[in-house]
Structure 1
Amino acid sequence: MLSMTEASARHVPPRQPARSRRIVVIGGGFTGAALARRLALSEADLQITVFEPRARLGAGLAYDTRDPALRLNVAAARMRAFPEDPLAFERFLQRTGRLATDGPAEAGGAIYARRSDFGDFMHDALAPLIASGRIVHHREAVTGVARQGSGYRILGDKGTALSADLLVIATSHPLPCCPQAAMALADDPRVIANPFETDHLNRIGREDPVLVLGAGLTAVDLLASLRERGHVGLVTLLSRSGALPQPHADRQLTTTIAAPAQAASLREWLKTVRSAVERAEAEGLPWQSVFDALRQQSQAIWQGLPLSERKRFLRHLRRRFEARRYRMPPQIAALLDSDMAAGRVRSIAGRVTAAEATRDGLLLTLRQGSGTARIETPWLAIATGPDHCGIIAQHAYLRQMADQGLIRADGLGLGLACNGASRAIGADGAPVETLFIAGPLARATFGELSGVPEIAAQVDAIARTLLAEQPLHGADRAQPVLS
């Protein structure tokens, strides 16, 4: 069934029907929606179609929530979704009166809005383009993709079948993966396997202890959601390193980092960053200012490192870097500090080596240093981070594309292989000219590609490439089959 989101009151002149190129985007979260919007606002004669099962475009996994406890982990001023209008989100918050009904939003001299507000902002930006027909939203999951001439044939789970000249994979972050040693518990009803569906937390008793596998931003978001529901029981955060996300600085300041003459060594970059932190602190600046500056250079740094150094980073530095790079909003940082001081939250380091279900709870065996420990809990939540390594196995259409040699895993366990122009790398090692990888699944190539500004920049580059392409004639232009 063809489904469109609700129209906005703003008027957008409809595009006249034409036998134009069709661009299909798989995934309508922030990445896919931002690309569709960028293309739709151009003067190019295009048919733009987005496959997204959710009712609205632009929210995706991250922002499709009504949980008021979940907030953006960066200030609203830094949510630069549209490069041509970097303050659009801030104006939306003011125009719609969101801040007047969100007393806790302001902290540390900045606005840390609710995640749902950003989802609403994206919907507001996309709705008139959908209403005018410039973007067609198929509210379906893609079940199959087959090569058809120089284009593609795409199948949706509600019966839509259409052809495309150009295809963009903008699939969102995959769900976390239960550790292999705890797979025996995967189907147990006392396991919260999807941390983003926070309604499942309503099953947890007010004083029930909860063990969370993971200690990153998703884990502390779960803590905030539990407390929003009146939960007061002990929450244990278990991760291999025991490192927790760090807070933002009280002041929004940025320093500079002088790049070394030769950036081919991870060790050299680590020395540079440490030196920059020492210099910043000597000047009275917070260490966070160095990481904010580092973010602006991170893609260039990553792309300058050889493959062996990238692998070394992922093995040895990734978790500690991410704890400082992806920081908690002040509201959740204050909650975490308060709960840890009161003994309601603890963070422990360890690795799950075995797990079993008992009548009274879930029993996990941990490796901690050279010793072992056992921990029993009535509830277990999986917040280990997205399972990018298994992304192809998680989607039938990606498995089909891999079988056809159109895509392959990137080799670093971060997503899908692509080149610097975001074109997918096929099984033969060559770029596929009409197939693009957008968003976090392209991180192995670009490095920093999780934040909105970096994704927006990649989306803009992909759009420029697509708009510069000459019309293609190899794809069958059959109309959608609707059910």
Structure 2
Amino acid sequence: MTVHGLFAKISPDSDSPREKPRIAIIGRGFSGIMMAIALMKSVRTAFHVHLFDPQPTISGGQVMAAAQSGEILNSRVRDLSVAAGQPEDFNDWLCANQDFRSAVSAAIPGFQQIFVPKSIFSDYVYQRFSEALTRRPDISMQLSCQAVLGLRKLPSGRFLVLQEEGSIECDVAVLATGFGIRALEMEVADDERPLVRARRLVVPRHAVLLGSGVRVVDRLLQMRDNGYAGEITIISRHGFLPQSHTRLSAAPTFPVDPMPTRLRDIVRFVRQACAEAEANGLSWQAAMNGLRRRARSLWQALPEQEKRQFNRHLRSIYDSHRNRLPAPMHLRLQQELADGRTVVRKGWAGRRRPDGLMVRWAGAPQEDLLVADQVIDCRCSAPDLKAPVIQNLFAGGLAQPDELGLGLAVSPAGEVLSDSHPTANLYAIGPLGLGSLPDIDLVPEIVTQTYAAARLIATRRRVTQKSA
């Protein structure tokens, strides 16, 4: 099903009955669409949803951006259900998909342990969204392609969503803007563009990829699959790339002993847990899966100084072990590095030039030119706290940054915090809360959070109705 077909019944100019409560969802990536699904399944009374996003089409956000057949999600099918309490839902959907069953027949009768392309997951999410909307004729939905410039709390307790042309009132506001995706091809300054046009006649011989996560490996392997035979340099600040998943799922395991409270001792404890898992015939991945169940409480208990130390020195190591690659992809990556066709170098990317990229290498006092015909940025942007809508929330006292300034301060259910207290009926879903909630940029955690937020919205709506 196409995105345009899915949203055909939603009119950008449609009006909903005024008596219906209005819920504004700002952002139509995965977090926004997932929030809409959770609301439709959790809120039993009629309501109106207004989806805001400046893009005229549904992008899918970071999870489903530029979904090509070769881009693989780094979570197994068993962890990607969008149905609360139904962990088999994605697997059931795949089993009912005849084209997929024919292409991956070796996995029948189930696909729980495999990794699938983003495009397949995208089709699943959009179909479940469409089905949920079809089953709720009492729900109306509206799209707006104007950028949201701010949110204002009215004396009535409602919100005013400010846009370039006019404003819209709502009862509940959900920020689901995630984090931005950088343009793949780094642009050259306007005054250097004539030189770029001349150089495009040259057959590419050296490409530079920026980043250290799954996206950079995806891009590397896609280039090779498409016949690119030149040299490739991956530039990463810390030089770490994703580690490998086990071939079969690694059940979480972790010591039951009380965890230390100091960062240095926690690191030592985790390393020992990984060593013990391997000594017992398991894998370090099993220990890391167990650690993730305790990561949130560990993070929240750390003092601010040690959180900053973690971000400076350990975050890249942790990310490389939590955002893992399917084993066949990791093997291909290792072969690339062993053959010398691809190299990884530590450095900081600077200005793009017609003949390459200015880079400050680790340990070097100044930038050098890295000659390249192509520079592709595979990094994820951090949540933009300088965006007008976020700045507007800060100015109105409705939100505050987390203590490290990585995103918004939020509760596990996505409630936006101000002075450490929830702002009534205001939520931030997904990566906007990454500084408060480790791993909230991953699909399973986003799904859990959206349902928690939807249950709060449903409960508070019932309480309001009774009091009225």
Give the TM-score normalised by structure 2.
0.83
Match of 2:219 among 210, 218, 222: 222
Q: Distance in 2 between matches of 1:228 and 1:186?
A: 32
Secondary structure in structure 2 of the residue aligned to 1:110: coil
Structure 1 stretch displaced more, 117-126 or 333-342: 333-342
Distance 1:71 1:412, change over 3 A: same
Aligned to 1:477: none
CA distance in 2: counterparts of 1:109 and 1:169, whole angstroms: 31
Question: Out of 394, 397, 421, which is 1:405 matched to?
Answer: 397
Q: Which one scores higher on RCO, CA 8 angstroms, separation ≥ 6?
A: 1
Corresponding position: 1:380 with 2:378: no
Distance 1:7 1:380 in 2: 36
3-state SS of the aligned residue for 2:160? strand
Instruction: Give structure 2 stretches of 5+ with no counterpart.
Output: 10-15
Deviations 1:213-267 (A, max 9, x none): 2222221122133224322211100112211111111232224212543542222
1:395-438 per-position Cα deviation (integer Å, ceiling 9, x unaligned): 33333333333233323232112245532234x55432121111
Give the match for residue 368 of structure 1: 362
Query: CA 1:121–1:187 in 2, change beyond 3 Å: closer, same or farther?
Result: farther
Distance 2:169 2:462 in 1: 14
Aligned to 2:13: none
Counterpart AA for 2:374: W
Q: Aligned partners of 2:57, 2:289: CA distance in 1, in Å? A: 32
How has the CA–CA distance of structure 1 residues 450 and 25 changed in structure 2, closer, same or farther, with 3 Å as cutoff?
same
Matching of residues 426-445 of structure 1 within 5 Å:
426=418, 430-445=421-436
Correspondences of 1:236-385 after superposition (within 5 Å) = 236-261=233-258, 263-352=260-349, 355=351, 357-358=353-354, 361-369=355-363, 374-385=369-380
* Pairing 1:42-81 to 2, within 5 Å after superposition: 42-53=43-54, 59-81=60-82
Identity %: 24
Q: CA deviation at 1:385?
A: 2.8
| Cross-structure match for 2:20 | 20
Question: In 1, Cα distance between the equivalents of 2:59 and 2:220?
Answer: 25
Shift of 1:78: 1.7
Q: Is the 8 A contact 2:25 2:175 kept in 1?
A: yes
Separation in 1, partners of 2:38, 2:303 = 33
Q: Is this contact kept in 1: 2:46–2:138, CA < 8 A?
A: no
Tell me which residue corresponds to 2:458.
467
Task: Give the aligned partner of residue 166 of structure 1.
Answer: 172
The one-letter amino acid paired with 1:309 is E
The whole-number CA distance in structure 2 between the counterparts of 1:284 and 1:187 is 60
Change (3 A) 1:258 1:96: same
1:302-359, Cα deviation, whole Å (9 max, x unpaired): 222222222221111000111111012334323322322332211112334x64625x
RMSD: 3.5
TM-score (norm 1): 0.81
1:129–1:135 CA contact under 8 A, matched in 2? no
Match of 2:34? 34
* Total equivalences in the alignment: 443
Contact 2:204 2:374 (8 Å CA) reproduced: no
- 1:136 pairs with 2:141: yes
The answer to whether the Cα contact below 8 Å between 1:59 and 1:120 also exists between their aligned partners in 2 is: no
Question: 1:117 corresponds to which residue?
Answer: 120
1:269 deviates by: 1.7
Tell whether 2:385 aligns with 1:392.
Answer: yes
C-alpha deviation, 1:462, in angstroms: 0.9
Contiguous gaps of at least 5 residues in structure 1: 10-15, 193-202, 474-483
CA contact (8 A) 1:177 1:386 kept: no
Aligned to 1:126: 129
SS in 1 for 2:434: helix
- Cα deviation, residue 90, structure 1: 1.3
Corresponding residue for residue 406 of structure 2: 414
Q: Distance in 2 between matches of 1:133 and 1:381?
A: 46
Task: Give the letter for the 1:224 counterpart.
Answer: L
- Indicate conservation of the 8 Å contact 2:180/2:382, yes or no: yes
Moved more, 160-169 or 435-444: 160-169
Q: What does residue 416 of structure 2 align with? A: 424
Letter of the 2:26 counterpart: I
